[in-house]
C-alpha cells in the first residue's frame, strides 16, 4: 500500500477575519499541494479564529462563516482532502466542528464531543457537544478525527469509541493555548492517546496571539507507540509534512451506533516531480526562551491584529520597563517603539541614565518630560482639601497618575498603544497605582512574576552581542522612586519569598496553613494573602495581559470583588 502525504498547516488566524483566514488557508493548501500533499489539516476553528467567544452567538456571523467555508472549498486544489476547523450552525445548535472538504465541496463534518469549561475555556456556554466520533474511510485506510480536548481524556467517549476501529491515523486539530511547560504536557497527552489507539497521531495546533492568549504551535506527529517523529516550530507558522504508511490488512467492522463513517474516494496520486520534504523534528525551546517567545508573539499580534502602528513605554530605568521595551523592539522593530522618561525629584541620576542608555541600546526614540512642576501644581491645588494632614501614599501616587496622564496624552495625539510595565508580583499584591502605572492598552508582563522578570532580562542579555539592558538596571534593588530612598522591600517581602507564596496561593489555590507548612513565616503568608484578596478591584480595572503561567489573573482566576471570605484570617 502506498504512503499518503499529509501536511499539518500550523497557521496564525485572526478572530473574526473570515475572508483573511480563508485566504491564508488557501495559500497554505496550495503550497502543500505543490509539495505533493494529498491531505492537509488546519487547526481548530481556523476559519473563525480561536476563541471566537460570543461572536458565535450572532446568527449572521455563523452564516458568513458558512458562506466563506463554501467559497474556500470551491477554491481549494480539487485533488486535496482538507480538514478545516469552523463554527457550525445546524438544527438550531452551534458546534465546534471540523469540515472535510474535497473536490470543491464539503463531504461532511465532525463535531467536537468534549467541550472544555475550565481555566480560559468557556465552550459549554457556546457550543453543543457532538454525539459520535467520525472515521474517514478510503481504499481500506481509516482516519479518525478529534478536536483538541477530545484527545485529552483517555477514557472519554471520543477515544474509547475509536479504540477498536482499526485506525491507520488519528488527526487532532487543536487550539491549545500556551503556558510554560505546556508543550511537554500536550505531547504526553497525545502520546498516551496514540498508544491507546495503537495508531499514529497527527496534532495540528494553532499559533499566534489572541487578546491575553498565546498559541504556541508545536504541531506534532507521533508513531503508534508514542515516539515523536516530527514536530513543527514553536511560536511561528509552519507546514509540517509527513508520510503515512497504512498498515493494510483486514479491518474490524465499524458499529454505526458508536461512530459515523465518511467514505471518500481516496487520495489522488501525488503530482509527478514533487519532492516530498523529509519530516522535521524541531527542537523544543528551553523554558526561559519559550516564555520570551510567547511574550514577543503575544505583544506583536496584539499590536498588529488591533491595527496599531506604534507603541509607547514609560521608561523608569527599572527592570520591568526595560524588559517590556526590549520585547517591544524584538516584536515590532525600533522604528515603531517610543520611550518617554518622566523624572521627578525622587528619580536618581542612575535610573535616569539607565533609561536613556536602554533607549540608545535599543535604537528607539526617547523623550524626557519632567513631571516635577506638574506634581507641585497638584500638591498646591489639593492642599486646601486636606489642611494639616501629613504626606502619605496620596502624594506618591499622584506622581504615577501624572505619568499615566502623560503617556495617555501621547497615545491620543499620535495613536500609539501604551504598553504598561507592571509584573504579576506587583499586580497580585496591589503594588501598583490605578490610573497611574496601570494606565494603558496592554500589560505585557502582567503574568510574569518578578523573579522571572530578572531571569528573562538576563537571558535576553546573553543572546549575542553586547547586553541590551544595562547591567546596573538588573543589579539595582527594585524601587518605585515615589519617595526618597524608596525600595520595593520597604512594602513587600523579598521577591525570593513573595513569588513562591504567590505561586502557591494564586496558581495552586493552596490555603495559608498549607503554605506555612512548607516553612514560610505565618505572618508573612497571611499578609501576602490579604494583599492579594484586597486588590481584586484594582486588577479588574487593569489592561489585558499576556498569559504565560498555568493560572493568570482575569482569564483563569475570576474572583468576586465583593467578597467576605477572608482566607488570611482562617484557622
Q: Which of 44, 137, 290, 503 is catalytic?
A: 44
User: Residues 468, 362: contact at Cβ < 8 Å?
Assistant: yes
Q: Which of 148, 203, 204, 366 is catalytic?
A: 148
| Best CA proximity match to 236, nearest among 164, 289, 313 | 289
DSSP-H helix ranges across 234-307: 287-305
Q: What angle do CA 55, 203, 447 make, to 5 degrees?
A: 60
Q: What's the burial of 567, exposed, middle or buried (CB within 10 Å: 0-12/13-18/19+)?
A: middle
H or E element in which residue 69 lies: helix 59-75
144 beta partners: 135, 170
Q: Where are the beta strands (DSSP E) in 152-237?
A: 169-174, 201-205, 207-210, 213-216, 220-222, 228-231
H or E element in which residue 90 lies: strand 81-90
DSSP one-letter string for 111-131: E------STT--HHHH-PPPS
Q: Which of 88, 112, 212, 366 is catalytic?
A: 112
| Best CA proximity match to 86, nearest among 125, 126, 42, 119 | 42
**Sequence-separated (6 or more) residues with CB below 8 Å from residue 18:** 47, 48, 64, 65, 68
The three cell numbers of residue 416 are 500609539
| 112 included as an active-site residue | yes
The three cell numbers of residue 449 are 512574576
| 93 included as an active-site residue | no
Beta strands at 220-222 and 228-231: parallel, antiparallel or unpaired = antiparallel
| 68 included as an active-site residue | no
Residues catalogued as catalytic: 44, 112, 148
Amino acid at each position: 500500500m502506498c504512503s499518503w502525504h499529509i501536511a499539518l498547516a500550523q497557521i496564525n488566524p485572526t478572530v473574526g477575519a473570515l475572508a483573511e483566514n480563508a485566504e491564508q488557508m488557501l495559500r497554505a493548501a496550495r503550497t502543500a499541494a505543490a509539495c505533493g500533499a494529498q491531505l492537509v489539516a488546519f487547526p481548530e476553528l481556523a476559519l473563525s479564529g480561536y476563541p471566537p467567544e460570543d461572536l458565535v452567538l450572532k446568527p449572521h456571523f455563523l452564516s458568513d462563516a458558512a458562506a466563506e467555508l463554501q467559497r474556500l472549498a470551491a477554491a481549494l486544489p480539487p485533488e486535496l482532502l482538507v480538514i478545516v476547523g469552523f463554527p457550525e450552525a445546524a438544527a438550531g445548535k452551534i458546534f465546534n466542528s471540523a469540515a472535510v472538504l474535497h473536490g470543491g465541496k464539503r463531504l461532511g463534518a465532525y463535531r467536537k464531543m468534549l467541550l472544555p469549561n475550565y481555566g480560559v475555556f468557556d465552550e459549554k456556554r457556546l457550543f453543543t457537544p457532538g454525539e459520535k466520533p467520525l472515521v474517514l474511510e478510503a481504499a481500506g485506510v481509516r482516519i479518525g478525527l478529534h478536536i483538541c480536548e477530545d484527545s485529552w481524556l483517555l477514557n472519554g467517549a471520543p477515544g474509547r469509541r475509536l479504540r477498536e476501529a482499526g485506525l491507520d491515523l488519528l488527526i487532532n486539530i487543536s487550539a491549545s493555548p500556551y503556558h510554560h511547560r505546556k508543550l511537554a504536557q500536550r505531547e504526553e497527552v497525545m502520546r498516551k492517546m496514540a498508544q491507546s489507539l495503537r495508531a499514529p497521531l497527527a496534532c495540528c495546533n494553532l499559533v499566534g496571539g489572541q487578546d491575553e492568549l498565546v498559541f504556541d504551535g508545536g504541531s506534532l506527529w507521533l508513531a503508534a507507540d508514542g515516539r515523536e517523529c516530527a514536530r513543527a516550530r514553536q511560536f511561528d507558522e509552519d507546514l509540517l509534512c509527513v508520510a503515512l504508511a497504512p498498515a493494510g490488512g483486514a479491518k474490524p467492522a465499524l458499529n454505526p451506533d458508536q461512530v459515523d463513517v465518511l467514505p471518500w474516494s481516496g487520495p489522488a496520486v501525488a503530482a509527478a516531480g514533487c519532492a516530498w520534504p523529509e519530516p522535521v523534528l524541531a527542537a523544543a525551546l528551553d523554558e526561559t526562551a519559550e516564555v520570551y517567545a510567547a511574550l514577543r508573539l503575544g505583544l506583536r499580534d496584539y499590536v498588529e491584529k488591533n491595527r496599531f502602528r506604534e507603541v509607547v513605554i514609560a521608561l523608569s530605568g527599572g527592570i520591568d520597563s526595560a524588559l517590556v521595551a526590549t520585547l517591544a523592539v524584538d516584536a515590532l522593530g525600533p522604528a515603531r517603539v517610543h520611550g518617554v522618561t518622566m523624572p521627578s525629584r525622587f528619580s536618581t541620576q542612575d535610573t535616569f541614565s539607565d533609561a536613556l542608555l536602554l533607549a540608545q541600546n535599543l535604537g528607539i526614540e526617547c523623550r524626557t518630560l519632567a513631571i516635577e512642576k506638574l506634581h507641585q501644581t497638584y500638591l498646591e491645588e489639593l492642599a486646601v482639601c486636606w489642611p494639616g494632614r501629613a504626606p502619605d501614599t496620596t502624594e506618591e501616587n499622584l506622581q504615577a497618575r501624572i505619568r499615566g496622564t502623560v503617556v495617555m496624552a501621547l497615545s491620543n495625539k499620535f495613536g500609539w498603544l501604551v504598553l504598561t510595565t507592571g509584573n504579576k508580583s506587583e499586580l497580585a499584591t496591589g503594588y501598583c497605582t490605578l490610573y497611574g502605572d496601570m494606565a494603558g492598552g496592554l500589560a505585557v508582563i502582567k503574568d510574569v512574576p518578578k523573579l522571572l522578570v530578572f531571569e528573562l532580562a538576563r537571558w535576553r542579555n546573553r543572546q549575542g552581542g553586547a547586553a541590551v539592558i544595562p547591567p546596573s538596571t538588573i543589579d539595582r534593588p527594585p524601587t518605585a522612586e515615589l519617595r526618597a530612598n524608596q525600595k520595593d522591600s520597604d512594602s513587600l517581602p523579598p521577591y525570593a519569598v513573595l513569588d513562591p507564596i504567590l505561586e502557591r496561593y494564586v496558581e495552586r489555590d493552596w490555603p495559608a496553613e498549607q503554605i506555612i507548612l512548607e516553612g514560610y513565616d505565618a505572618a508573612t503568608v497571611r499578609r501576602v494573602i490579604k494583599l492579594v484578596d484586597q486588590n481584586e478591584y484594582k486588577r479588574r480595572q487593569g489592561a489585558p495581559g499576556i498569559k504565560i503561567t498555568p493560572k493568570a489573573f482575569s482569564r483563569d482566576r475570576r474572583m468576586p470583588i465583593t467578597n467576605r471570605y477572608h482566607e488570611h484570617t482562617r484557622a
